[in-house]
Structure 1
Amino acid sequence: MPEGPPPPVGRPPLTWLYVPGDRPEVVAKALGSGADVVIVDLEDAVAPDRKEYARSATAELLGDQVTAAPDAVPVHVRVHGEDDIRALAELPGLTAFRLPKITHAVSVHHVAAVAPGVALYPLLESALAIEHAYSIASAHHAVRGIALGEADLRADLGVREDAGLDWPRSRVVVAARAAALPPPAQSVFPDVRDLDGLWTSCGRGRALGMLGRAAIHPRQLPVIERAFRPTAEEIEAAEEIVAASAVEAGALALPDGRFVDAAVVASARRTIALAGRA
Protein backbone atom coordinates (compact mmCIF):
# COMPACT_ATOMS: atom_id res chain seq x y z
CA MET A 1 0.00 0.00 0.00
CA PRO A 2 1.42 3.43 -0.86
CA GLU A 3 2.36 5.63 2.05
CA GLY A 4 1.39 9.27 2.04
CA PRO A 5 4.38 11.22 0.70
CA PRO A 6 6.32 13.58 2.96
CA PRO A 7 5.77 17.30 2.60
CA PRO A 8 7.31 18.54 -0.66
CA VAL A 9 10.94 19.58 -0.56
CA GLY A 10 12.48 22.04 -3.01
CA ARG A 11 10.36 23.37 -5.86
CA PRO A 12 6.63 23.11 -5.09
CA PRO A 13 4.23 21.92 -7.80
CA LEU A 14 2.59 24.71 -9.79
CA THR A 15 0.52 22.91 -12.43
CA TRP A 16 -2.15 20.28 -11.72
CA LEU A 17 -3.78 18.90 -14.88
CA TYR A 18 -7.25 17.30 -14.70
CA VAL A 19 -8.06 14.53 -17.18
CA PRO A 20 -11.18 12.34 -17.47
CA GLY A 21 -10.66 8.85 -16.13
CA ASP A 22 -12.69 7.21 -18.88
CA ARG A 23 -10.26 8.37 -21.59
CA PRO A 24 -7.01 6.50 -20.97
CA GLU A 25 -5.45 7.84 -24.18
CA VAL A 26 -5.91 11.39 -22.86
CA VAL A 27 -4.48 10.38 -19.50
CA ALA A 28 -1.41 9.00 -21.26
CA LYS A 29 -0.91 12.31 -23.09
CA ALA A 30 -1.37 14.24 -19.84
CA LEU A 31 1.45 12.28 -18.22
CA GLY A 32 3.76 13.63 -20.92
CA SER A 33 2.37 17.18 -20.92
CA GLY A 34 4.84 18.66 -18.46
CA ALA A 35 2.25 19.11 -15.70
CA ASP A 36 3.70 18.78 -12.21
CA VAL A 37 0.74 16.62 -11.12
CA VAL A 38 -1.88 14.76 -13.17
CA ILE A 39 -5.34 14.43 -11.62
CA VAL A 40 -7.43 11.58 -13.00
CA ASP A 41 -11.05 12.64 -12.57
CA LEU A 42 -13.62 9.98 -11.77
CA GLU A 43 -16.25 12.47 -10.69
CA ASP A 44 -17.64 15.38 -12.72
CA ALA A 45 -15.71 14.63 -15.92
CA VAL A 46 -17.19 11.13 -16.26
CA ALA A 47 -20.79 10.35 -17.22
CA PRO A 48 -22.71 8.05 -14.83
CA ASP A 49 -22.77 5.16 -17.29
CA ARG A 50 -18.97 5.40 -17.69
CA LYS A 51 -18.03 5.40 -13.99
CA GLU A 52 -17.21 1.69 -13.75
CA TYR A 53 -15.12 1.76 -16.91
CA ALA A 54 -13.28 4.84 -15.68
CA ARG A 55 -12.47 3.12 -12.38
CA SER A 56 -11.23 0.02 -14.19
CA ALA A 57 -9.07 2.05 -16.61
CA THR A 58 -7.61 4.04 -13.72
CA ALA A 59 -6.85 0.87 -11.78
CA GLU A 60 -4.95 -0.44 -14.80
CA LEU A 61 -2.99 2.81 -15.02
CA LEU A 62 -2.10 2.85 -11.32
CA GLY A 63 -1.09 -0.80 -11.38
CA ASP A 64 1.52 -0.13 -14.06
CA GLN A 65 5.06 -0.16 -12.68
CA VAL A 66 6.00 2.72 -15.00
CA THR A 67 3.42 4.93 -13.29
CA ALA A 68 4.70 3.76 -9.92
CA ALA A 69 8.36 4.57 -10.67
CA PRO A 70 10.02 7.05 -8.28
CA ASP A 71 10.59 9.59 -11.06
CA ALA A 72 7.10 9.27 -12.53
CA VAL A 73 4.67 12.18 -12.64
CA PRO A 74 2.56 12.11 -9.45
CA VAL A 75 -0.97 10.88 -10.12
CA HIS A 76 -3.87 12.04 -7.97
CA VAL A 77 -7.38 10.65 -8.35
CA ARG A 78 -10.50 12.70 -7.73
CA VAL A 79 -12.84 10.00 -6.54
CA HIS A 80 -16.57 9.72 -7.05
CA GLY A 81 -17.28 7.62 -4.00
CA GLU A 82 -16.08 4.94 -1.62
CA ASP A 83 -16.05 2.24 -4.30
CA ASP A 84 -13.28 4.19 -6.06
CA ILE A 85 -11.33 4.57 -2.84
CA ARG A 86 -11.47 0.86 -2.00
CA ALA A 87 -10.59 -0.19 -5.54
CA LEU A 88 -7.57 2.10 -5.93
CA ALA A 89 -6.08 2.68 -2.48
CA GLU A 90 -3.50 -0.11 -2.59
CA LEU A 91 -2.24 0.41 -6.13
CA PRO A 92 1.43 1.41 -6.41
CA GLY A 93 0.95 4.26 -8.88
CA LEU A 94 -1.43 6.24 -6.68
CA THR A 95 0.00 9.38 -5.09
CA ALA A 96 -3.11 10.87 -3.49
CA PHE A 97 -6.89 11.01 -3.43
CA ARG A 98 -8.73 14.26 -4.03
CA LEU A 99 -11.99 14.22 -2.09
CA PRO A 100 -14.85 16.22 -3.61
CA LYS A 101 -17.56 18.08 -1.73
CA ILE A 102 -16.08 17.64 1.74
CA THR A 103 -18.00 19.67 4.35
CA HIS A 104 -16.91 18.16 7.68
CA ALA A 105 -13.75 16.72 9.20
CA VAL A 106 -15.54 13.45 9.94
CA SER A 107 -15.61 12.65 6.21
CA VAL A 108 -11.83 12.98 6.07
CA HIS A 109 -11.45 10.67 9.06
CA HIS A 110 -13.63 8.09 7.32
CA VAL A 111 -11.55 8.10 4.12
CA ALA A 112 -8.32 7.96 6.11
CA ALA A 113 -9.62 4.84 7.86
CA VAL A 114 -10.65 3.20 4.58
CA ALA A 115 -7.36 4.08 2.85
CA PRO A 116 -4.68 4.30 5.55
CA GLY A 117 -1.39 5.77 4.41
CA VAL A 118 -2.78 7.50 1.31
CA ALA A 119 -2.35 11.28 1.05
CA LEU A 120 -5.64 13.18 0.96
CA TYR A 121 -6.64 16.52 -0.58
CA PRO A 122 -10.14 17.60 0.50
CA LEU A 123 -11.97 19.89 -1.94
CA LEU A 124 -14.14 22.61 -0.41
CA GLU A 125 -17.06 23.35 -2.71
CA SER A 126 -19.80 24.93 -0.58
CA ALA A 127 -20.42 27.68 1.96
CA LEU A 128 -20.55 25.08 4.72
CA ALA A 129 -17.15 23.71 3.69
CA ILE A 130 -15.64 27.20 3.76
CA GLU A 131 -16.97 27.71 7.29
CA HIS A 132 -15.25 24.46 8.33
CA ALA A 133 -12.04 25.06 6.38
CA TYR A 134 -9.59 24.82 9.28
CA SER A 135 -11.20 21.78 10.88
CA ILE A 136 -11.04 20.00 7.52
CA ALA A 137 -7.45 21.10 6.86
CA SER A 138 -6.34 19.85 10.29
CA ALA A 139 -8.59 16.79 10.41
CA HIS A 140 -5.92 14.09 9.95
CA HIS A 141 -2.20 13.77 9.29
CA ALA A 142 -3.05 12.21 5.90
CA VAL A 143 -4.31 15.60 4.68
CA ARG A 144 -1.51 17.08 2.55
CA GLY A 145 -3.41 20.02 1.10
CA ILE A 146 -6.82 21.61 0.58
CA ALA A 147 -8.34 23.38 -2.41
CA LEU A 148 -11.53 25.00 -3.57
CA GLY A 149 -13.97 23.53 -6.05
CA GLU A 150 -14.94 26.87 -7.49
CA ALA A 151 -17.60 25.85 -9.99
CA ASP A 152 -19.82 24.35 -7.30
CA LEU A 153 -18.90 27.10 -4.86
CA ARG A 154 -19.93 29.81 -7.33
CA ALA A 155 -23.29 28.09 -7.77
CA ASP A 156 -23.77 27.70 -4.03
CA LEU A 157 -22.96 31.33 -3.31
CA GLY A 158 -24.60 32.83 -6.39
CA VAL A 159 -21.30 34.46 -7.33
CA ARG A 160 -20.65 35.45 -10.94
CA GLU A 161 -17.56 37.65 -10.87
CA ASP A 162 -14.08 36.42 -9.93
CA ALA A 163 -13.87 39.07 -7.20
CA GLY A 164 -16.71 37.34 -5.39
CA LEU A 165 -14.35 34.47 -4.60
CA ASP A 166 -11.67 36.59 -2.96
CA TRP A 167 -12.90 35.89 0.57
CA PRO A 168 -13.26 32.08 0.17
CA ARG A 169 -9.84 31.96 -1.48
CA SER A 170 -8.30 33.93 1.38
CA ARG A 171 -10.10 31.71 3.87
CA VAL A 172 -8.55 28.50 2.52
CA VAL A 173 -5.11 30.14 2.31
CA VAL A 174 -5.33 31.04 6.01
CA ALA A 175 -6.74 27.62 6.95
CA ALA A 176 -3.98 25.82 5.09
CA ARG A 177 -1.28 27.92 6.70
CA ALA A 178 -2.80 27.45 10.17
CA ALA A 179 -2.80 23.68 9.59
CA ALA A 180 0.85 23.76 8.40
CA LEU A 181 -0.16 22.77 4.85
CA PRO A 182 1.20 24.19 1.57
CA PRO A 183 -0.58 27.18 0.04
CA PRO A 184 -3.64 26.00 -1.89
CA ALA A 185 -3.58 25.88 -5.67
CA GLN A 186 -6.30 27.80 -7.48
CA SER A 187 -9.22 25.96 -8.97
CA VAL A 188 -9.54 25.54 -12.74
CA PHE A 189 -10.14 28.43 -15.13
CA PRO A 190 -12.99 27.12 -17.31
CA ASP A 191 -12.31 28.94 -20.62
CA VAL A 192 -9.37 27.14 -22.22
CA ARG A 193 -9.14 29.72 -25.04
CA ASP A 194 -9.00 32.82 -22.85
CA LEU A 195 -5.34 32.76 -21.85
CA ASP A 196 -5.31 36.47 -21.06
CA GLY A 197 -8.19 35.96 -18.65
CA LEU A 198 -6.34 33.00 -17.12
CA TRP A 199 -3.24 35.16 -16.63
CA THR A 200 -5.24 37.90 -14.93
CA SER A 201 -7.07 35.45 -12.68
CA CYS A 202 -3.81 33.75 -11.69
CA GLY A 203 -2.39 37.13 -10.73
CA ARG A 204 -5.35 37.73 -8.46
CA GLY A 205 -4.95 34.31 -6.86
CA ARG A 206 -1.24 34.80 -6.35
CA ALA A 207 -1.90 38.15 -4.66
CA LEU A 208 -4.19 36.34 -2.21
CA GLY A 209 -1.49 33.81 -1.30
CA MET A 210 -2.45 30.90 -3.55
CA LEU A 211 0.27 28.90 -5.27
CA GLY A 212 -0.18 27.19 -8.62
CA ARG A 213 -3.38 26.25 -10.35
CA ALA A 214 -5.36 23.31 -11.65
CA ALA A 215 -5.86 23.16 -15.42
CA ILE A 216 -8.20 21.37 -17.79
CA HIS A 217 -6.09 21.69 -20.96
CA PRO A 218 -2.33 21.50 -21.57
CA ARG A 219 -2.35 24.92 -23.30
CA GLN A 220 -3.09 26.47 -19.88
CA LEU A 221 0.03 25.04 -18.25
CA PRO A 222 2.67 27.53 -19.51
CA VAL A 223 0.50 30.49 -18.49
CA ILE A 224 0.03 29.11 -14.98
CA GLU A 225 3.74 28.33 -14.69
CA ARG A 226 4.73 31.88 -15.67
CA ALA A 227 2.09 33.49 -13.48
CA PHE A 228 3.24 31.80 -10.29
CA ARG A 229 6.98 31.67 -10.79
CA PRO A 230 8.85 34.54 -9.11
CA THR A 231 10.20 37.29 -11.34
CA ALA A 232 13.91 37.93 -11.77
CA GLU A 233 13.59 40.93 -9.44
CA GLU A 234 11.86 38.85 -6.77
CA ILE A 235 14.55 36.17 -6.99
CA GLU A 236 17.34 38.73 -6.75
CA ALA A 237 15.75 40.34 -3.70
CA ALA A 238 15.25 36.94 -2.04
CA GLU A 239 18.86 35.93 -2.65
CA GLU A 240 20.05 39.20 -1.14
CA ILE A 241 17.98 38.58 1.98
CA VAL A 242 19.21 35.00 2.40
CA ALA A 243 22.82 36.05 1.86
CA ALA A 244 22.54 38.83 4.44
CA SER A 245 20.97 36.48 6.99
CA ALA A 246 23.89 34.09 6.60
CA VAL A 247 26.34 36.84 7.60
CA GLU A 248 24.40 38.31 10.50
CA ALA A 249 21.90 36.41 12.66
CA GLY A 250 18.71 37.97 13.97
CA ALA A 251 16.90 41.06 12.73
CA LEU A 252 18.83 43.39 10.44
CA ALA A 253 18.40 46.19 7.93
CA LEU A 254 19.61 45.90 4.36
CA PRO A 255 21.50 48.79 2.72
CA ASP A 256 18.32 49.94 0.94
CA GLY A 257 16.47 50.21 4.26
CA ARG A 258 14.46 47.00 4.13
CA PHE A 259 13.99 45.37 7.53
CA VAL A 260 14.71 41.64 7.66
CA ASP A 261 13.73 39.19 10.37
CA ALA A 262 13.24 35.41 10.54
CA ALA A 263 9.83 35.53 8.86
CA VAL A 264 11.19 37.58 5.96
CA VAL A 265 14.10 35.17 5.55
CA ALA A 266 11.73 32.20 5.52
CA SER A 267 9.65 33.89 2.81
CA ALA A 268 12.80 34.56 0.79
CA ARG A 269 13.81 30.91 1.01
CA ARG A 270 10.38 29.90 -0.28
CA THR A 271 10.83 32.25 -3.24
CA ILE A 272 14.20 30.69 -4.09
CA ALA A 273 12.75 27.20 -3.77
CA LEU A 274 9.89 28.15 -6.08
CA ALA A 275 12.39 29.43 -8.61
CA GLY A 276 13.98 26.00 -8.67
CA ARG A 277 17.20 27.17 -7.09
CA ALA A 278 17.03 25.25 -3.81
Structure 2
Amino acid sequence: MTNTPLTWLYVPGDRPQTVTKALACGADVVIVDLEDAVAPDRKEYARTATAERLGEPQPVPVHVRVNALDSPFAAADLRTLAALPGVSALRLPKVTSPHQIIRVADSVPSGNRGATPLHALLETALGIEHAYAIACAHPSLRGIALGEADLRADLGVRDDAGLDWSRARVVVAARAAGLAPPPQSVHPDIRDLEGLATSCARGRTLGFLGRAAIHPRQLPIIERAYLPTQHELEEAETIVKAAATERGAQALPDGRFIDAAVVAMAQRTLSLAARGD
Protein backbone atom coordinates (compact mmCIF):
# COMPACT_ATOMS: atom_id res chain seq x y z
CA MET A 1 0.00 0.00 0.00
CA THR A 2 2.86 2.40 0.66
CA ASN A 3 3.57 2.60 -3.08
CA THR A 4 -0.06 3.08 -4.04
CA PRO A 5 -0.39 6.14 -6.27
CA LEU A 6 -2.81 8.85 -5.24
CA THR A 7 -2.14 11.46 -7.92
CA TRP A 8 -2.18 10.88 -11.68
CA LEU A 9 -1.32 13.94 -13.80
CA TYR A 10 -2.41 14.18 -17.43
CA VAL A 11 -0.16 16.10 -19.82
CA PRO A 12 -0.48 16.56 -23.62
CA GLY A 13 1.80 14.34 -25.65
CA ASP A 14 2.46 17.01 -28.26
CA ARG A 15 4.13 19.27 -25.67
CA PRO A 16 7.35 17.47 -24.70
CA GLN A 17 8.63 20.38 -22.61
CA THR A 18 5.45 20.25 -20.55
CA VAL A 19 5.94 16.51 -20.14
CA THR A 20 9.42 17.17 -18.75
CA LYS A 21 8.02 19.70 -16.27
CA ALA A 22 5.26 17.29 -15.24
CA LEU A 23 7.82 14.63 -14.35
CA ALA A 24 9.25 16.96 -11.72
CA CYS A 25 6.02 18.33 -10.22
CA GLY A 26 5.39 15.65 -7.61
CA ALA A 27 2.70 13.51 -9.24
CA ASP A 28 2.82 9.82 -8.41
CA VAL A 29 2.09 8.93 -12.03
CA VAL A 30 2.35 11.11 -15.14
CA ILE A 31 -0.05 10.25 -17.97
CA VAL A 32 1.09 11.39 -21.39
CA ASP A 33 -2.11 11.88 -23.36
CA LEU A 34 -2.24 11.18 -27.08
CA GLU A 35 -6.03 11.21 -27.24
CA ASP A 36 -8.31 14.04 -26.09
CA ALA A 37 -5.53 16.55 -25.39
CA VAL A 38 -4.08 16.33 -28.91
CA ALA A 39 -5.69 17.74 -32.07
CA PRO A 40 -6.04 15.34 -35.04
CA ASP A 41 -3.38 17.14 -37.06
CA ARG A 42 -0.91 16.78 -34.16
CA LYS A 43 -1.37 13.06 -33.52
CA GLU A 44 1.64 11.89 -35.52
CA TYR A 45 3.90 14.49 -33.93
CA ALA A 46 2.62 13.64 -30.44
CA ARG A 47 3.44 9.96 -30.95
CA THR A 48 6.93 10.70 -32.28
CA ALA A 49 7.69 13.23 -29.53
CA THR A 50 6.45 10.85 -26.86
CA ALA A 51 8.54 7.99 -28.22
CA GLU A 52 11.64 10.17 -28.16
CA ARG A 53 10.93 11.43 -24.63
CA LEU A 54 10.26 7.95 -23.21
CA GLY A 55 13.12 6.14 -24.89
CA GLU A 56 14.81 5.72 -21.52
CA PRO A 57 13.61 5.07 -17.93
CA GLN A 58 11.93 8.00 -16.21
CA PRO A 59 12.12 9.25 -12.59
CA VAL A 60 8.44 8.50 -11.96
CA PRO A 61 6.03 6.00 -13.55
CA VAL A 62 4.73 7.23 -16.90
CA HIS A 63 1.56 5.92 -18.50
CA VAL A 64 0.57 6.76 -22.07
CA ARG A 65 -3.09 7.15 -22.97
CA VAL A 66 -3.23 6.02 -26.57
CA ASN A 67 -5.94 6.96 -29.02
CA ALA A 68 -9.27 5.14 -29.07
CA LEU A 69 -8.81 1.56 -30.19
CA ASP A 70 -11.14 1.99 -33.17
CA SER A 71 -9.32 5.12 -34.38
CA PRO A 72 -6.79 5.19 -37.23
CA PHE A 73 -4.03 6.14 -34.77
CA ALA A 74 -4.27 3.43 -32.12
CA ALA A 75 -2.38 0.63 -33.87
CA ALA A 76 0.67 2.83 -34.47
CA ASP A 77 0.49 4.18 -30.90
CA LEU A 78 0.57 0.68 -29.46
CA ARG A 79 3.24 -0.61 -31.80
CA THR A 80 5.53 2.38 -31.25
CA LEU A 81 5.21 2.93 -27.51
CA ALA A 82 4.42 -0.36 -25.75
CA ALA A 83 7.96 -1.64 -25.26
CA LEU A 84 9.76 1.64 -24.55
CA PRO A 85 11.84 1.73 -21.34
CA GLY A 86 10.13 4.91 -20.17
CA VAL A 87 6.57 3.59 -20.54
CA SER A 88 5.27 2.01 -17.33
CA ALA A 89 1.79 1.24 -18.67
CA LEU A 90 -0.67 1.96 -21.47
CA ARG A 91 -4.08 3.46 -20.81
CA LEU A 92 -6.77 2.36 -23.25
CA PRO A 93 -9.65 4.83 -23.72
CA LYS A 94 -13.30 4.06 -24.39
CA VAL A 95 -13.06 0.34 -23.72
CA THR A 96 -16.41 -1.41 -24.13
CA SER A 97 -15.50 -5.10 -24.31
CA PRO A 98 -13.09 -7.58 -22.71
CA HIS A 99 -12.17 -8.71 -26.23
CA GLN A 100 -10.49 -5.35 -26.83
CA ILE A 101 -8.23 -5.91 -23.84
CA ILE A 102 -7.35 -9.41 -25.00
CA ARG A 103 -6.53 -8.20 -28.52
CA VAL A 104 -4.27 -5.44 -27.25
CA ALA A 105 -2.56 -7.64 -24.66
CA ASP A 106 -1.87 -10.33 -27.24
CA SER A 107 -0.61 -7.94 -29.91
CA VAL A 108 1.57 -5.30 -28.24
CA PRO A 109 5.30 -5.97 -28.07
CA SER A 110 6.83 -6.71 -24.67
CA GLY A 111 9.75 -4.75 -23.23
CA ASN A 112 12.64 -5.88 -21.07
CA ARG A 113 10.29 -5.99 -18.06
CA GLY A 114 7.87 -8.35 -19.75
CA ALA A 115 4.30 -7.66 -20.84
CA THR A 116 3.26 -4.03 -20.80
CA PRO A 117 0.67 -3.33 -18.07
CA LEU A 118 -2.69 -2.07 -19.33
CA HIS A 119 -5.34 0.17 -17.77
CA ALA A 120 -8.86 0.40 -19.20
CA LEU A 121 -10.93 3.57 -19.21
CA LEU A 122 -14.68 3.00 -19.19
CA GLU A 123 -16.43 5.96 -20.79
CA THR A 124 -19.75 4.65 -22.13
CA ALA A 125 -22.82 2.89 -20.84
CA LEU A 126 -21.68 -0.29 -22.60
CA GLY A 127 -18.31 -0.11 -20.91
CA ILE A 128 -19.97 0.22 -17.50
CA GLU A 129 -22.24 -2.76 -18.23
CA HIS A 130 -19.14 -4.86 -19.04
CA ALA A 131 -17.02 -3.49 -16.18
CA TYR A 132 -16.35 -6.77 -14.39
CA ALA A 133 -15.71 -8.74 -17.59
CA ILE A 134 -13.26 -6.06 -18.71
CA ALA A 135 -11.55 -6.03 -15.31
CA CYS A 136 -10.99 -9.82 -15.55
CA ALA A 137 -10.12 -9.92 -19.24
CA HIS A 138 -6.37 -10.50 -19.09
CA PRO A 139 -3.51 -10.70 -16.55
CA SER A 140 -1.90 -7.67 -18.18
CA LEU A 141 -4.84 -5.50 -17.15
CA ARG A 142 -3.80 -3.79 -13.92
CA GLY A 143 -6.58 -1.27 -13.43
CA ILE A 144 -9.86 0.23 -14.57
CA ALA A 145 -11.15 3.77 -14.21
CA LEU A 146 -13.92 6.03 -15.43
CA GLY A 147 -13.76 8.66 -18.12
CA GLU A 148 -16.56 10.82 -16.78
CA ALA A 149 -16.79 13.52 -19.45
CA ASP A 150 -17.61 11.03 -22.19
CA LEU A 151 -19.78 8.95 -19.88
CA ARG A 152 -21.77 12.00 -18.86
CA ALA A 153 -22.42 12.79 -22.52
CA ASP A 154 -23.33 9.20 -23.34
CA LEU A 155 -25.83 8.97 -20.50
CA GLY A 156 -27.20 12.50 -20.82
CA VAL A 157 -26.47 13.07 -17.13
CA ARG A 158 -26.64 16.69 -16.03
CA ASP A 159 -26.30 16.40 -12.26
CA ASP A 160 -23.04 15.04 -10.86
CA ALA A 161 -24.89 12.65 -8.56
CA GLY A 162 -26.28 10.94 -11.64
CA LEU A 163 -22.89 9.26 -12.12
CA ASP A 164 -22.72 7.73 -8.64
CA TRP A 165 -24.18 4.38 -9.71
CA SER A 166 -21.59 4.07 -12.48
CA ARG A 167 -18.85 5.07 -10.06
CA ALA A 168 -19.89 2.44 -7.55
CA ARG A 169 -20.12 -0.16 -10.32
CA VAL A 170 -16.51 0.44 -11.33
CA VAL A 171 -15.27 0.35 -7.73
CA VAL A 172 -17.04 -2.97 -7.14
CA ALA A 173 -15.84 -4.45 -10.45
CA ALA A 174 -12.23 -3.56 -9.68
CA ARG A 175 -12.40 -5.11 -6.24
CA ALA A 176 -14.19 -8.24 -7.49
CA ALA A 177 -11.46 -8.71 -10.10
CA GLY A 178 -8.69 -8.30 -7.54
CA LEU A 179 -7.52 -4.96 -8.94
CA ALA A 180 -6.52 -1.87 -6.99
CA PRO A 181 -9.28 0.62 -6.15
CA PRO A 182 -9.74 2.93 -9.15
CA PRO A 183 -8.73 6.59 -9.05
CA GLN A 184 -11.39 9.25 -9.60
CA SER A 185 -11.79 10.92 -12.94
CA VAL A 186 -10.49 14.47 -13.39
CA HIS A 187 -12.10 17.58 -11.92
CA PRO A 188 -12.16 19.82 -15.02
CA ASP A 189 -12.15 23.26 -13.34
CA ILE A 190 -8.53 23.85 -12.31
CA ARG A 191 -9.46 27.01 -10.39
CA ASP A 192 -12.14 25.35 -8.28
CA LEU A 193 -9.94 23.85 -5.56
CA GLU A 194 -12.71 23.92 -2.99
CA GLY A 195 -15.00 22.01 -5.32
CA LEU A 196 -12.17 19.57 -6.02
CA ALA A 197 -11.73 18.88 -2.31
CA THR A 198 -15.46 18.34 -1.85
CA SER A 199 -15.60 16.01 -4.84
CA CYS A 200 -12.60 14.03 -3.57
CA ALA A 201 -14.29 13.58 -0.20
CA ARG A 202 -17.33 12.22 -2.00
CA GLY A 203 -15.18 9.91 -4.12
CA ARG A 204 -13.46 8.58 -1.05
CA THR A 205 -16.80 7.57 0.47
CA LEU A 206 -17.57 5.63 -2.72
CA GLY A 207 -14.36 3.63 -2.51
CA PHE A 208 -12.06 5.43 -4.94
CA LEU A 209 -8.39 5.83 -4.08
CA GLY A 210 -6.64 8.89 -5.50
CA ARG A 211 -7.53 10.96 -8.50
CA ALA A 212 -6.43 12.05 -11.94
CA ALA A 213 -5.52 15.72 -12.38
CA ILE A 214 -5.03 18.09 -15.28
CA HIS A 215 -2.94 20.73 -13.46
CA PRO A 216 -0.19 20.50 -10.82
CA ARG A 217 -2.09 22.80 -8.46
CA GLN A 218 -4.67 20.05 -8.04
CA LEU A 219 -2.16 17.50 -6.77
CA PRO A 220 -1.82 18.56 -3.10
CA ILE A 221 -5.61 18.86 -2.77
CA ILE A 222 -6.06 15.31 -4.02
CA GLU A 223 -3.31 13.88 -1.85
CA ARG A 224 -4.58 15.63 1.27
CA ALA A 225 -8.11 14.39 0.62
CA TYR A 226 -7.05 10.76 0.28
CA LEU A 227 -4.48 10.48 3.05
CA PRO A 228 -5.96 9.50 6.44
CA THR A 229 -6.81 12.28 8.86
CA GLN A 230 -5.18 12.40 12.28
CA HIS A 231 -8.40 11.11 13.83
CA GLU A 232 -8.56 8.19 11.39
CA LEU A 233 -4.92 7.39 12.05
CA GLU A 234 -5.37 7.38 15.83
CA GLU A 235 -8.46 5.21 15.55
CA ALA A 236 -6.65 2.73 13.30
CA GLU A 237 -3.74 2.51 15.75
CA THR A 238 -6.18 1.81 18.58
CA ILE A 239 -7.86 -0.98 16.63
CA VAL A 240 -4.61 -2.65 15.62
CA LYS A 241 -3.22 -2.49 19.16
CA ALA A 242 -6.44 -3.91 20.60
CA ALA A 243 -6.43 -6.77 18.10
CA ALA A 244 -2.80 -7.58 18.97
CA THR A 245 -3.48 -8.17 22.67
CA GLU A 246 -2.90 -11.61 24.03
CA ARG A 247 -6.59 -12.45 24.10
CA GLY A 248 -7.38 -10.84 20.79
CA ALA A 249 -9.76 -8.09 21.86
CA GLN A 250 -13.28 -8.34 20.50
CA ALA A 251 -14.35 -4.83 21.42
CA LEU A 252 -12.82 -1.42 21.99
CA PRO A 253 -13.10 0.37 25.34
CA ASP A 254 -16.01 2.42 23.94
CA GLY A 255 -17.93 -0.77 23.13
CA ARG A 256 -17.39 -0.91 19.38
CA PHE A 257 -16.99 -4.47 18.10
CA ILE A 258 -13.90 -5.31 16.06
CA ASP A 259 -13.36 -8.31 13.82
CA ALA A 260 -10.93 -9.32 11.09
CA ALA A 261 -12.51 -6.98 8.52
CA VAL A 262 -12.28 -4.00 10.87
CA VAL A 263 -8.65 -4.81 11.64
CA ALA A 264 -7.82 -5.18 7.95
CA MET A 265 -9.30 -1.75 7.25
CA ALA A 266 -7.29 -0.25 10.09
CA GLN A 267 -4.09 -1.81 8.78
CA ARG A 268 -4.83 -0.41 5.35
CA THR A 269 -5.24 3.05 6.89
CA LEU A 270 -1.88 2.78 8.66
CA SER A 271 -0.18 1.60 5.49
CA LEU A 272 -1.65 4.46 3.49
CA ALA A 273 -0.58 6.95 6.17
CA ALA A 274 2.99 5.64 5.96
CA ARG A 275 2.97 6.64 2.30
CA GLY A 276 2.82 10.29 3.35
CA ASP A 277 5.91 10.08 5.58
Q: Does 1:133 align with 2:126?
A: no
Instruction: List per-residue Cα deviations over 1:148-202 (Å, max 9, x = no partner).
Output: 0000000000112211111000000000010011111000011001111111111
- State the aligned residue count: 265
> 4+ residue runs of structure 1 moved beyond 4 angstroms?
248-251
Q: Quote the residue 1:110 is aligned against.
A: 103
Secondary structure of 2:141's match? Answer: coil
Residue in 1 that maps onto 2:62: 75
Question: Given the two structures, how large is their TM-score scaled by the length of structure 2?
Answer: 0.92
Q: Deviations over 1:8-38 (max 9, x none)?
A: x424111000000000011011001100100
Q: Which residue of 1 aligns with 2:153?
A: 155
**Equivalent residue runs for 1:87-236 within 5 Å:** 87-115=80-108, 116=110, 117-236=115-234
With over 3 angstroms needed to count, the CA separation of the structure-2 counterparts of 1:11 and 1:244, relative to structure 1, is farther
How far apart are the structure 1 equivalents of 2:8 and 2:246?
Answer: 39
CA distance in 2, matches of 1:245, 1:61: 50
Displacement, 1:255? 1.2
* Residue among 47, 50, 53 paired with 1:55: 47
Higher mean Cα deviation, 240-249 or 201-210?
240-249
Q: Offset at 1:246? A: 2.1
**Aligned counterpart, 2:272:** 274
Query: Aligned to 2:143, what secondary structure does the other structure show?
Result: coil
Counterpart code for 1:107: Q
Please give the residue correspondences for 1:15-54 in structure 2 after superposition, counting only pairs within 5 Å. Answer: 15-54=7-46
Contact 1:11 1:275 in 2 (8 A): no
Equivalence map 1:4-15=2 (5 Å): 9-15=1-7
Name the CA distance, whole Å, in 1 between partners of 2:85 and 2:224.
32
Name stretches of at least 5 consecutive residues in structure 2 with no aligned partner. Answer: 68-73
- Report how far residue 251 of structure 1 moved: 6.7
- What do residues 72-96 of structure 1 show as CA deviations (whole Å, max 9, x unaligned)? 2100000011211110111111100
Distance in 2 (alpha carbons) for counterparts of 1:52 and 1:249: 65
CA distance in 2, matches of 1:241, 1:128: 42
Q: Secondary structure at the match of 1:260?
A: coil
What's the % identity of the aligned pairs? 69
CA distance in 1, matches of 2:185, 2:256: 34
- Give the Cα–Cα distance (whole angstroms) in 1 for the partners of residues 51 and 65 of structure 2: 13
- 1:5 maps to none
One-letter code aligned to 1:14? L
CA contact (8 A) 1:202 1:224 kept: yes
Q: CA deviation at 1:249?
A: 6.8
TM-score by length of 1: 0.92
